[in-house]
């Protein structure tokens, strides 16, 4: 039973970490007042570039596999920033409909990834092979001896788990304890007041969107690395799920992390059922289990809709000349 | 010599006579009238086309499409590393859909569901709702149509009509849920429709695997149901050997109906008012909540009908039980956006997307992946998103120039005096 529970929780973490990272990215853009349903597309481009990088660059050339891992993460994040720049400039500077320009990103990046993989022969057909095993940390010396936590967090894990935790804490500090965070939040709540206080709304919002690009790229890379063995320019809707996680987490870092864990527990249920004989004996179609998180999301959204703390100026185009 | 001269004279005489007779013919008042009216009609249509093309919306669409093709070409050039191959690829893309009547017939055939899904997205857009859920509504509609087609026995035209109606109802139900949640609980429809997409995906997988409808050899839902197929109504004599059928006519008809609803009815006016300003329309006594639900239901119904158009033809799409969201809904977003959500424009943008897709299929022979279509559409959508700003920018600039000129003129005058 203990081992079953452990392997289920490990699976939950594999999904939860990328969701946390991406949802926190979403938090930065939405707290600044710009919606970004392009997270899905940004995850795809991050995963594509990151995996391409770790496939093509030999570990010896950069000095070790963990260095390669972090360089890959960097490439994934930069890819996300680059693509999200287009959304940022359209949605913030050019007063475009934020949903439309993000949709363009969602259509562009999977197509671009597939097209490049196929035309330039980067993988097999239009798929990139993935081998995450070299990057797994088999055991962290002393820490892995801690009873439960040691098995879950410090044995046979990808380094992404630590990156995720660092990002979560950093996000909290940046958003609540720095000048930048305060300014960003004010842009999402009342941009006109923020403007009057001398804050450059355009620059703040663009930064917010680009942070979300970086984090979504990173999230996509980690998701694909931990979850599959073949990348076909598809992150199976986790970008959209991250938005749901964000809403459920009420746009607050630690709530977002908790809701991501809850979501992941539900998301992995269809695979996790195998670990629990009691549930497996119910003999329910695995697709019903797969459906569950989405039904739960809708129910949760209904229940939380009354006390939603959404940024007030979210989705609104800021125009200096208005009023 | 004299022979040639006489022949020449004869020839000149003939020409003169011919000219005279033509003059006589056109001199007759009746003929004159007819030709004048034809000439005026031609002139009018040309002027109308020019007027239409001068509309900023259409100019923006055309420019965006042009930019999309340019970017697509650059991507091809960069990846192929050779200008010639890229040109070849582009030519195939542009010509592929119209090499003969058969392929153009197929373009029209494939465009019918695209037009309907586009209408679904556009209709919700007009009420200020973003329907990403067209995919889910499409899948649910598709499986309903297939169940009716496979399990019900009925004479020919009625069976098809029933299956299509079933698809419409299923799609409408799938649209009703997000509409209800939006109006009752103020839950963002973007999220709920995405969730409904996933629920639809897994639900249809379960339903498609049922032995009553599943075909093991096809690895898809059974497609032989002769009485429920979409009638061809003789369109395949115009486009020989193509798969074209009634669906394109249905799609165009529905587009016109939607245009009529939005433009000429109270319901359409109310829906647009809600989209334009929820608060304002509420003040004007329009029932916001009811309209949101109605709009989402109609959007869902349209997506459901689209599914019937793709799964019921003689040469249908196969309904495979895969746990992946159908891409059709996202293509519908492209179709709607390219036409700026104008129902009549959607007919053209649907055909355009279908045309590019057909061309992209032939591009694979030169070594390009068919995904180039999505690269191009995404650029088109992006350009459309920022087009109003660019238009605004240019208008502003030209106005500034005018003012500058005026100021300069005034300045000159004051100098003289």
Q: B179 and B47, same structural domain?
A: no
Q: Report d(CA B159, CA B165) in Å as an integer.
A: 10
Tell me whether residue B126 is in a domain: yes
The residue of B60, B361, B369 whose CB has the most chain A CBs within 10 angstroms, and thus the best one to mutate to test that interface, is: B369
Tell me whether residue B58 is in a domain: no
**Widest pairwise Cα distance in chain B:** 101
**Reported pTM:** 0.84
ipTM of the complex: 0.87
Q: Report d(CA B156, CA B231) in Å as an integer.
A: 9
Task: Tell if the CB–CB gap between B330 and A107 is shorter than 8 Å.
Answer: yes
> Touching check for A299 and chain B: CB below 8 Å?
no
Q: Report d(CA A40, CA A223) in Å as an integer.
A: 12
The residue of B202, B321, B388, B391 whose CB has the most chain A CBs within 10 angstroms, and thus the best one to mutate to test that interface, is: B202
Q: Which of A25, A87, A318, A311 is nearest to A188 (CA)?
A: A311
Q: Report d(CA B120, CA B343) in Å as an integer.
A: 10
Question: Angle at which helices B56-80 and B328-338 pack, to 10 degrees?
Answer: 130
Tell me whether residue B186 is in a domain: yes
State the virtual CA torsion across A51, A53, A57, A59 in degrees, nearest 10. Answer: -60
Q: Which of B299, B264, B263 is nearest to B182 (CA)?
A: B299
> Touching check for A317 and chain B: CB below 8 Å?
no
Residue for token pair 């022969």: A121
Task: Say what the pLDDT of residue B405 is.
Answer: 82
Q: B285 and B200, same structural domain?
A: yes
Tell me whether residue B76 is in a domain: no
Query: Which residue in B132, B188, B375 is closest to A111 by CB distance?
Result: B375
> Touching check for A282 and chain B: CB below 8 Å?
no
Residues with Cβ within 8 Å of A199's Cβ and at least 6 positions away in sequence, in order, are A183, A186, A187
Q: Based on the number of CB atoms within 10 Å of its own CB, is B186 exposed (0-12), middle (13-18) or buried (19 or more)? A: middle
> Touching check for A297 and chain B: CB below 8 Å?
yes
The CATH architecture one would assign to domain A2-307 is Orthogonal Bundle (1.10)
Tell me whether residue B367 is in a domain: no
What's the domain range around B118?
101-362
Q: How many CA atoms lie within 13 A of B321 on its CB side?
A: 20
Tell me whether residue B395 is in a domain: no
CATH code of residue B315: 1.10.3470
Task: Tell if the CB–CB gap between A96 and B388 is shorter than 8 Å.
Answer: yes
Task: Tell if the CB–CB gap between A301 and B371 is shorter than 8 Å.
Answer: no
Q: Taking the domains of chain A in order of start, what are their residue ranges?
A: 2-307
- Taking chain B (417 residues) in consecutive chunks of 10 residues, what is each chunk's mean pLDDT? 81 88 79 85 85 75 88 88 85 82 89 95 90 93 94 88 95 95 87 90 92 86 85 82 89 95 90 85 86 94 95 89 86 89 93 89 80 88 83 74 79 51
Q: Which stretch of DSSP H or E encloses residue B343?
A: helix B343-363
Task: Say what the pLDDT of residue A322 is.
Answer: 64
Q: Report d(CA B187, CA A32) in Å as an integer.
A: 21
Contacts of B374 in chain A (CB under 8 A): 107-108, 110-111
Task: Tell if the CB–CB gap between A126 and B369 is shorter than 8 Å.
Answer: yes
The encoded tokens of residue B165 equal: 């109606």
| Pair B347, B251: CB distance under 8 Å | yes
Q: How many domains does chain B have?
A: 2
The encoded tokens of residue B301 equal: 């119904």
The residues facing B220 across adjacent strands are: B215
What is the nearest CA distance from A139 to chain B, expressed in angstroms?
35
> Touching check for A103 and chain B: CB below 8 Å?
yes
Q: B132 and B38, same structural domain?
A: no
Q: Which of B46, B197, B80, B184 is nearest to B131 (CA)?
A: B197
Q: Report d(CA B246, CA B215) in Å as an integer.
A: 26
| Pair A129, A228: CB distance under 8 Å | no
Contacts of A34 in chain B (CB under 8 A): none
> Coil, helix or strand for B123?
helix
Q: B110 and B44, same structural domain?
A: no
Q: How many CA atoms lie within 13 A of A219 on its CB side?
A: 38
Contacts of B322 in chain A (CB under 8 A): none
Q: Report d(CA A240, CA A19) in Å as an integer.
A: 10
Residue for token pair 């245009």: B259
Task: Say what the pLDDT of residue B417 is.
Answer: 42
The encoded tokens of residue B280 equal: 């304002």
Q: Report d(CA A6, CA B241) in Å as an integer.
A: 60
Q: Which stretch of DSSP H or E encloses residue A25?
A: helix A2-31
| Pair B350, B133: CB distance under 8 Å | no
| Pair B239, B104: CB distance under 8 Å | yes
CA dist A288 → A8, B135, B140, B199 (Å): 18, 19, 16, 9
Task: Say what the pLDDT of residue B416 is.
Answer: 45
Q: B272 and B340, same structural domain?
A: yes
Task: Tell if the CB–CB gap between A298 and B187 is shorter than 8 Å.
Answer: yes
Q: B126 and B273, same structural domain?
A: yes
Contacts of A298 in chain B (CB under 8 A): 177, 181, 187, 192, 195-196
Task: Say what the pLDDT of residue A323 is.
Answer: 54
Q: Which stretch of DSSP H or E encloses residue A230?
A: strand A230-231
Residue A57 sits at φ, ψ, to 5 deg, of -95, 125
Q: Report d(CA A283, CA A270) in Å as an integer.
A: 12
The residues facing A230 across adjacent strands are: A129
> Touching check for A118 and chain B: CB below 8 Å?
yes
Task: Tell if the CB–CB gap between B206 and A288 is shorter than 8 Å.
Answer: yes
Which residues between 146 and 165 in chain A have a beta carbon less than 8 angstroms from any beta carbon of chain B? none
- Could you say which residues of chain A have pLDDT below 50? none
Q: B26 and B158, same structural domain?
A: no
Residues with Cβ within 8 Å of B83's Cβ and at least 6 positions away in sequence, in order, are B77
Task: Give me the total of CB pairs closer than 8 Å, taking one residue from chain A and one from chain B.
Answer: 140
């Amino acid at each position: 039973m203990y081992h079953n529970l452990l392997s289920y929780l490990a699976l939950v973490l594999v999904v939860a970490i990328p969701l946390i990272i991406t949802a926190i990215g979403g938090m930065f853009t939405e707290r600044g007042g710009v919606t970004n349903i392009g997270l899905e597309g940004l995850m795809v481009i991050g995963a594509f570039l990151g995996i391409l990088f770790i496939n093509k660059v030999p570990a010896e050339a950069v000095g070790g596999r963990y260095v390669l891992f972090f360089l890959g993460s960097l490439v994934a994040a930069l890819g996300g920033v680059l693509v999200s720049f287009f959304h940022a400039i359209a949605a913030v500077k050019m007063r475009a409909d934020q949903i439309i320009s993000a949709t363009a990103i969602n259509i562009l990046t999977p197509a671009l990834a597939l097209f490049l993989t196929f035309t330039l022969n980067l993988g097999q057909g239009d798929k990139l092979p993935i081998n995450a095993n070299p990057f797994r940390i088999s055991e962290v010396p002393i820490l892995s001896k801690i009873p439960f936590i040691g098995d879950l967090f410090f044995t046979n894990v990808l380094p992404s788990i630590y990156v995720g935790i660092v990002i979560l804490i950093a996000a909290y500090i940046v958003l609540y304890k720095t000048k930048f965070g305060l300014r960003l939040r004010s842009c999402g709540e009342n941009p006109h007041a923020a403007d009057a206080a001398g804050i450059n709304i355009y620059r703040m919002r663009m930064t917010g969107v680009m942070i979300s690009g970086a984090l979504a790229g990173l999230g996509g890379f980690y998701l694909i690395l931990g979850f599959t063995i073949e990348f076909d320019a598809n992150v199976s809707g986790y970008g959209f799920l991250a938005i749901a996680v964000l809403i459920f987490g009420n746009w607050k870092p630690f709530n977002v992390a908790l809701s991501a864990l809850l979501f992941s527990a539900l998301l992995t249920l269809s695979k996790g059922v195998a670990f629990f004989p009691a549930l497996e004996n119910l003999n329910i179609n695995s697709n019903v289990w797969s459906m569950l998180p989405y039904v739960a999301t809708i129910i949760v959204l209904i229940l939380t809709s009354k006390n939603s703390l959404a940024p007030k100026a979210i989705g609104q185009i800021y125009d200096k000349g208005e009023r | 010599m004299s022979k040639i001269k006489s022949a020449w004279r004869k020839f000149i005489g003939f020409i003169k006579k011919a000219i005279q007779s033509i003059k006589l013919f056109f001199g007759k008042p009746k003929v004159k009238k007819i030709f004048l009216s034809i000439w005026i009609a031609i002139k009018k249509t040309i002027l109308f086309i020019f007027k239409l093309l001068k509309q900023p919306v259409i100019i923006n669409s055309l420019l965006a499409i042009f930019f999309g093709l340019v970017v697509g070409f650059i991507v091809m050039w960069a990846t192929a590393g050779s200008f010639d191959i890229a040109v070849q690829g582009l030519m195939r893309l542009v010509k592929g859909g119209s090499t003969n009547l058969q392929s153009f017939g197929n373009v029209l055939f494939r465009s019918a569901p695209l037009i309907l899904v586009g209408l679904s997205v556009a209709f919700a857009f007009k009420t200020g709702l973003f329907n990403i859920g067209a995919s889910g509504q499409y899948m649910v509609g598709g499986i309903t149509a297939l169940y009716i087609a496979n399990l019900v026995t009925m004479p020919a035209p009625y069976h098809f009509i029933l299956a299509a109606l079933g698809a419409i109802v299923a799609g409408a139900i799938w649209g009703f849920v997000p509409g209800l949640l939006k109006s009752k609980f103020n839950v963002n429809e973007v999220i709920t429709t995405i969730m409904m997409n996933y629920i639809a995906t897994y639900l249809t997988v379960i339903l498609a695997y049922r032995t009553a409808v599943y075909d093991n050899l096809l690895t898809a839902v059974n497609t032989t149901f002769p009485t429920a197929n979409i009638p061809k109504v003789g369109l395949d004599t115009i486009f020989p050997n193509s798969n074209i059928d009634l669906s394109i006519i249905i799609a165009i008809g529905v587009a016109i109906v939607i245009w009529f609803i939005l433009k000429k009815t109270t319901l359409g006016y109310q829906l647009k008012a809600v989209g334009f300003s929820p608060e304002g329309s509420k003040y004007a006594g329009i029932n916001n909540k009811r309209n949101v639900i109605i709009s989402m239901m109609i959007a869902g119904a349209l997506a459901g009908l689209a599914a019937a158009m793709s799964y019921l033809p003689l040469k249908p799409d196969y309904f495979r039980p895969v746990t992946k969201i159908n891409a059709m809904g996202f293509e519908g977003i492209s179709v709607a956006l390219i036409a700026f959500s104008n129902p009549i424009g959607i007919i053209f943008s649907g055909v355009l997307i279908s045309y590019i897709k057909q061309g992209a299929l032939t591009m694979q022979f030169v070594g390009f992946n068919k995904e180039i279509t999505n690269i191009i559409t995404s650029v088109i959508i992006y350009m459309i998103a920022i087009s109003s700003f660019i238009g605004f920018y240019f208008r502003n600039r030209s106005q500034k120039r005018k003012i500058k000129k005026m100021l300069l003129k005034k300045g000159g005058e004051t100098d003289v005096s």
